[in-house]
Structure 1
Amino acid sequence: MRFVFLALSIVLLLPSQMVMAQKFGYVDSKFILSKMPEYKEAQQEIEDLSDAWQQEIQSMRKEIESMYAELKAEEVLLTKELKEQRLKEIQKKESEVKAYQKKVFGFDGLFFLKKKELVKPVQDKVFEAVEIVAKKERLQIVFDKAGELIMIYTDPIHDYTDIVLEELGLIDDNDLNKN
């Protein structure tokens, strides 16, 4: 009797959330983003910018190649000083191309910043929808199946991807559970 009273006292003293099991779920943000037209538009704009920058860099490299070819063709006619001067010009141009490539495609480069600028608002929209669904479904934890977290097994009963798509207006009741 004394043990039952002690156990009951401990249970009553524990916060109610510790006694109740936590509810969790997961979503596939990669799948959700693939269904969003604004994400597809952002991806296309990013790809177009990348292609343009790559073509610009390729053009700069071709210019360097032609400078080398021109130097090689005129090499026998040039003095040692002129040859060294031309080589320095070519090396300077190569350095400029490398610096430009780093400025565009390097860490925190123009490409990264533009990608962040275009994709972040779409991702924020998804995160807001996930938060709304989590509150509606009373979830304490929501995992992202597409993220770094490795999920070895997932029970589809805990998959809230379709509900988030519905919250974003990207799916209607007839499309639920068809993926």
Structure 2
Amino acid sequence: MKNGIKALLLVCCVLFGSVAFGQNLKFGVINSQEIISKMPERDSAEAKLMKLRTELGNQIESLQVEFNQKYQAYAQGREKMADLVRQTKEKELSDLQNRIQEYGQNAEQELSKQQAALLKPIVDKINEAIKAVGKANGFAYIFDTAIPSLAYYDAAQAVDVLPLVVKQLGIKEKPAAATPKK
């Protein structure tokens, strides 16, 4: 009896396995970074990030100029300063240098946070378009080649769905820049 159940299970596995392998699964590939570069919204996001980067950089530069001026004044008059004045100036310089470093770290965090916030709607829109293309065109899987977790794919078997997603998003291709003739 046990052998009969095992045999039945084996036959079921073979039948279901052959049905599963008999399916023509359609796989697609896409490079999400290339899509992001084509999105019109990216230009606006990049401009906002550039503006923020410039503002933060100007502030750091201003703090650095202030530090350099105070350091020069300290270095020129250090020999004539009383110990208490010299120690106070050194502490002031050290505090200012720490503020500059802290501001730089906070500026990097703010830039990263703003970049994530500005790119999120773009990435969400792309993901929705990929899902729509996958469903409409019968893809079982679409792999993003921009993410290095994909170890291998046969380019002859995979379909690059980038043009379909670009079309789904309604992105108009920018004309290629003309190369000057020599």
TM-score w.r.t. the length of structure 2 is 0.80
The residue identity in structure 1 corresponding to 2:102 is A
- Of residues 69, 73, 80 in structure 2, which corresponds to 1:66? 69
User: What is the CA-CA distance between 1:140 and the residue it aligns to?
Assistant: 1.8
Count the aligned residue pairs.
166
Partner of 1:135: 135
Partner of 1:155: 156
The residue identity in structure 2 corresponding to 1:127 is N
Note closer, same or farther for the CA distance 1:147–1:6 as it changes in structure 2 (3 Å cut): closer
Partner of 2:58: 55
String of CA shifts for 1:100-148, please: whole Å, max 9, x gaps.
Answer: 111121xxx2111111110110011001100111111221211112222
Partner of 2:117: 117
Q: Where in structure 1 are there 5+ consecutive unaligned residues?
A: none
Are 1:76 and 2:79 counterparts? yes
Q: Where in structure 2 are there 5+ consecutive unaligned residues?
A: 1-7, 176-182
2: CA distance between counterparts of 1:26 and 1:152?
9
Are the aligned partners of 1:145 and 1:151 in contact in 2 as well (CA < 8 Å)?
no
Note closer, same or farther for the CA distance 1:41–1:151 as it changes in structure 2 (3 Å cut): farther
Are the aligned partners of 2:42 and 2:119 in contact in 1 as well (CA < 8 Å)?
yes
Note closer, same or farther for the CA distance 1:72–1:13 as it changes in structure 2 (3 Å cut): closer
Indicate the percent of aligned positions where both proteins have the same amino acid: 23
Q: Secondary structure at the match of 1:155?
A: coil
TM-score w.r.t. the length of structure 1 is 0.81
The residue identity in structure 2 corresponding to 1:165 is V
